[in-house]
Structure formats: structure tokens, C-alpha cells
Structure 1
Amino acid sequence: MRATIDGTVIAEAPEEELVSIEGNWYFPPSAVVPGALTESPTAYTCPWKGAAQYWDVVTPGGVRKDGAWSYPDIKPSAVERVGRDFAGYVAFSPGVTVGD
């Protein structure tokens, strides 16, 4: 699976390495292209996953503010709910195409 913006690959990994949660594909941190994400100050806390880290997505065409997010320190109950540890995995906002 790939995450792309205007043909630029942001992340890529086999589907079996991704985690699907609430309609979003979460990529392992190692699947993200180096330099594609920069930390955003945007704050958000999911009631069942915990505090999110938002990321700006950087491509040759520009920066997509808050185009990605992850949960660096997920709640233990979230691992039980999903059935897998997804701490640090990265999901992408609309505007980033995720598919084969």
C-alpha cells in the first residue's frame, strides 16, 4: 500500500504491515519516507486511543498542514481493542491518497 500526494510517495508498506482503524490505514513508522513529515503543534486527544501527534506532510509541491497523525503513547485498552500495538503508526488525512 502507498500513501501519495500528487504522485509523490509519502509512505509505502505491504498491507499486512498496516493497521486499519475506523476507516484509516496506519503505516508503520519505518514505512514513512524520511523527511516527509514535520511535527505540527496541533493538539488532539482521542478518548480511546490517547494523545495524538499531528504532522505536516512535506512534498516537492508544498506542505499539507496536519496531513498526518499518529499516537505515540497509546492507551493499553486501545491495543486490546485493535488487537495490535500501533504506537507511532501514521495515518493520513483526506487529500493524501492511500491505496495499492
Structure 2
Amino acid sequence: MKGFRRRRPAAPPQPEAPQAPSFPPAALVLDALGRKCPIPIIMLAERIREVPLGAIIAVQADDVAARTDIPAWCRMKSQTFVREETLPQGWSFHIKRDY
């Protein structure tokens, strides 16, 4: 068959790159950088009621104890620990106010 060209098989579809989960922005950010345990927890406990129910409050801290203390506080107080984000100078802990 003259003039007949074979078609190349279509390339298999490329898997989509996984997208980072979308989180709502923090309604309030507490700066506890440079403060040692238990100050980040005290700041969180004092100010969490300033955000509406279902909103996010972020605590920025550089004390390594905060990495275990803040999630533990959330479990004790029935708040939702959303995520931990690494900052150049420490971490940002995101907590959803549940009550």
C-alpha cells in the first residue's frame, strides 16, 4: 500500500504529579519563637478561643519540645492537630479549634 504510514502507538498517559494538600490559612498566628517549654502551650491555651470554631490557629516555635507537647495538648484538649510545617527557624504547628 503506497502512501500508507504507520501510526506510532500513543504514548501511555503520564501520571499526574501529586498535589500538596490544600489547607485553610491560619486565622491567628502566635509567635513563640525563642520561648521555651511550656510557654508555647500556654500561649496556645490562652488564645485559642480568639478564633472561631473550625478555624486554624498556628503556633510558631523553635523549642524542640513543642514538637511533642503541642500534639499531646491537642489530644488532651480535644482539638485537632492539623499539621506541622518546617520553618527556617523552627516549626509552625497548625491546630483546628473544635470547641
After TM superposition, the score normalised by the length of structure 1 is 0.28
After TM superposition, the score normalised by the length of structure 2 is 0.29
Query: Max radius of gyration: which structure?
Result: 2
Greater share of strand residues, 1 or 2? 1
Greater share of helix residues, 1 or 2? 2
